[in-house]
Amino acid sequence: MRALITGASSGLGRDFAIKLSNIGYDLVLVSRNKEKLEELKGKLKTNVIVEAMDLSIKENVYKIYNKYQNKIDFLINNAGFGECGDFNKIPLENELNMIDLNVVCLHILTKLFLSDFVKKDEGTILNVASLAAFEPGPLMATYYSTKSYVYNLTMAIYEELRRKKSNVKIHVLCPGPTDTGFNERAHVHFGVKSLTSDYVTSYTLKKIKLKKLLIIPNIRMKASVFFVRFAPRKLLLKMVYNIQERKLK
Ligand SMILES: NC(=O)c1ccc[n+]([C@@H]2O[C@H](COP(=O)([O-])OP(=O)(O)OC[C@H]3O[C@@H](n4cnc5c(N)ncnc54)[C@H](OP(=O)(O)O)[C@@H]3O)[C@@H](O)[C@H]2O)c1
């Protein structure tokens, strides 16, 4: 069995790599930082191939698929980043780069590997979204929107597969604050206690085994999704704005 993990050089992707290797998966690890990927490879006991590349560049995403077409059993679309600030101030280039990574790369890999999986009627895809998928995100507008896309895309594909009684599995992980390199890149500090990446990845792999479609790592996070569903939209916007504003301070 072989898994391909995007964004494997740190945080959730790194921990998924360690855990999957520990249960016998060979791995293809993709992200930009070759040194970090090689350092991780040195710690793992299964066969690991390192692909150091920028996945916000579409040609690289196709290169990855063309190289590993029909050679992957488990795809983890994890690479992603956020940026906090006023929509009117964040440079457009940064946002387009975020959309290219969080949305376009994930879309292409999901589409192409899914077609391989459907042909052999087996395979698993895990798409990493966020709690941000469930609401609009003032002061992090583009990031929240990208994660809504990931959530909705995954849900829709799940239903299509289910109707066909396919053995291909698709899951969406929606974590809240988790202690990784995410904050540093987004230039923020979480105002609430975060989970460890070790906990989130263990929990996720357990839920995948149980064939759970939507994976939300703890009860507090599940409660917040429940609240969001029923809260008046304008109240929700004010609350999210305040949370994000606190993160910027
Ligand atoms: N941490 C949280 O609180 C949290 C909450 C909800 C959702 N998430 C989601 O979880 C996923 C993983 O993030 P994380 O929290 O583990 O953060 P992280 O530690 O910053 O990891 C992000 C990974 O993505 C890779 N990456 C970034 N830009 C890339 C690019 N252009 N091309 C290829 N790889 C790239 C990074 O590696 P390189 O720098 O080596 O490229 C790194 O391996 C993201 O999709 C994030 O949105 C995180």
Instruction: Tell me: pLDDT of 187 over 90.
Output: no
Specify the ligand 1 atom closest to the Cα of 173.
7
For ligand 1, residues with CB inside 6 Å are 7-13, 31-33, 36, 54-56, 78-82, 101, 128, 130, 175, 177-178, 180-182, 185
Least-confidence region, from 66-80, 111-125, 180-194:
180-194
Ligand 1 mean position to 236 CA, how many Å?
Answer: 26
Domains of the chain in sequence order:
2-248 (3.40.50.720)
Task: Say how far apart CA 235 and CA 224 lie, in whole Å.
Answer: 14
Ligand 1 mean position to 231 CA, how many Å?
Answer: 29
Residue-averaged pLDDT of the chain: 96
Task: Say how far apart CA 107 and CA 117 lie, in whole Å.
Answer: 15
Specify the ligand 1 atom closest to the Cα of 100.
31
Instruction: Tell me: pLDDT of 37 over 80.
Output: yes
Q: 13 to each of 36, 86, 98, 135, how far by Cα in Å?
A: 12, 28, 17, 24
Instruction: Tell me: pLDDT of 16 over 90.
Output: yes
The reported pLDDT for the residue numbered 183 is 87
Q: Minimal CA–CA distance to 208: which of 159, 245, 172, 161? A: 172
Instruction: Tell me: pLDDT of 191 over 80.
Output: no
Task: Say how far apart CA 65 and CA 109 lie, in whole Å.
Answer: 7
The reported pLDDT for the residue numbered 211 is 97
Q: How confident is the model at residue 25 (pLDDT cuts 50, 70, 90)?
A: very high
